[in-house]
Amino acid sequence: MTPMRTHPLRTALTCASSDSGAGAGIQADLKTFAAHGVYGFSALAGVTAQNTREVLDAFYLPPELLRAQLQAVWSDFDLGGVKIGLLGTRDNAQVVLDFIERKLSPELPVVLDPVMCSASGHVFLDEEAFRAVLRLFPRALLVTPNLFEAEAVVGRKIEGFRGFPEAAAKIRDLGARNVLIKGGHLEGEPRDYLLLEDGSDFFFDGERIPTRDDHGTGCTLSSAILSRLVRGCDLQTSVKLAKLYTAEAMRRAPGLGRGRGPLHHFHQFYEFEKDRSEPSEGG
């Protein structure tokens, strides 16, 4: 057998689902890794048929196929970190849990984005799948729920950003080591809240970016955080830099589609020519 090479290239694996519009999901993850100089591997959990306006269909792969992809990647490459996105089913979440427990070193950074819905409002997870994703929390270095996901996890409404510290503490009680609650869905200026395992906490104030192009921001942010972690930043710095990257990717969005469009993941490298005049009939 050929010996394993240790390679200086930074790498990360995303376990998530495909978005045919390529703004979210596995496509957003791989673009974000690449934009950060991190080589991305992928283990596909499902396939969604969607665009900037709606999710038309979603199909989740059999757990054996997800397991085989994880094994294929793990047995040949050094992994720098793992990002978990939409897994879709209880069985797929269980496969990822087994993989982390049996194959990964506890030091390897795992960022879990507990995706439940699309930006267009489609609910991806049933109750059983949601419960299985909760079981992944103790295996994640960081869990990144948005406001609605955090409410679902703690089981009640969160009244504005003042409710974030209590909600994050509850999420930590479920085993998550560090928690980032994203406040982009709040009224007014967005505010995110990071609770670290040593008990320190931080609010990150952002400005509301005047754009309708926010499809895949959650996937992009969590992948950018993992990329920074893989490159050696601490958690707080990784979150800060990932927020700047995601905000700029929204500001420079290419303006594609008729709904909530994708971001510009490679904004550091080139501009898109933008012309989002109203589309003609059928065009």
16 is a contact residue toward ligand PXL (CB under 6 A) = yes
How open is the CA angle 25-91-30, to the nearest 5 degrees?
20
Which of residues 80, 163, 183, 216 is near ligand PXL by CB under 6 A?
216
Provide the token pair at 5: 């090479």
Residue 78 beta carbon to ligand PXL: minimum distance, rounded to whole angstroms: 26
Site string for ligand PXL, 41-60 (x = CB under 6 A): -------x-x----------
CB of 24 to ligand PXL, least distance (A): 4
CA distance 37 to 29: 13
List of E strands, the chain: 11-19, 39-50, 55-60, 82-84, 110-112, 142-143, 178-181, 191-195, 201-205
Site string for ligand PXL, 25-44 (x = CB under 6 A): x-------------------
Judged by CB under 6 A, the chain residues 114 through 133 that form the site for ligand PXL are 115, 118-119
With residues binned 3-state (H G I as helix, E B as strand, rest as coil), the percentages for the chain, rounded to 5, are: 35, 20, 45
Q: Minimal CB distance to ligand PXL: which residue? A: 25
Binder of ligand PXL out of 80, 109, 183, 218 (CB under 6 A): 218
Binding residues for ligand PXL, rule CB under 6 A, total 15
Q: What x-and-dash track marks residues 75-114 binding ligand PXL by CB under 6 A?
A: ----------xx----------------------------
C-alpha torsion sign, points 104, 81, 52, 47? negative
Q: What's the min distance (Å) between Cβ of 16 and ligand PXL?
A: 6
Nearer to ligand PXL by Cβ, of 116 and 196: the residue is 116
Q: Which pairs with CB-CB distance under 8 Å and at least 24 residues apart come from 59-65?
A: 60/17, 60/87, 60/88, 60/89, 60/92, 61/92, 63/89, 63/91, 63/92, 63/94, 63/95
Stretch of 12-20, 165-173, 244-252, 258-266 contacting ligand PXL, by CB under 6 A: 12-20
- Residues, the chain, total? 283
Give the contact letters, 170-209, x = binds to ligand PXL (CB under 6 A), - = no: ----------------------------------------
Q: Is 44 left (phi over 0), alpha (psi -120 to 50) or beta?
A: beta
The C-alpha angle with vertex 207 and arms to 206 and 211, in degrees rounded to 5, equals: 125
From 13, 15, 24, 179, residue interacting with ligand PXL (rule: CB under 6 A): 24
Q: Which residues make up the interface to ligand PXL (CB under 6 A)?
A: 16-17, 19, 24-25, 48, 50, 85-86, 115, 118-119, 216, 218-219
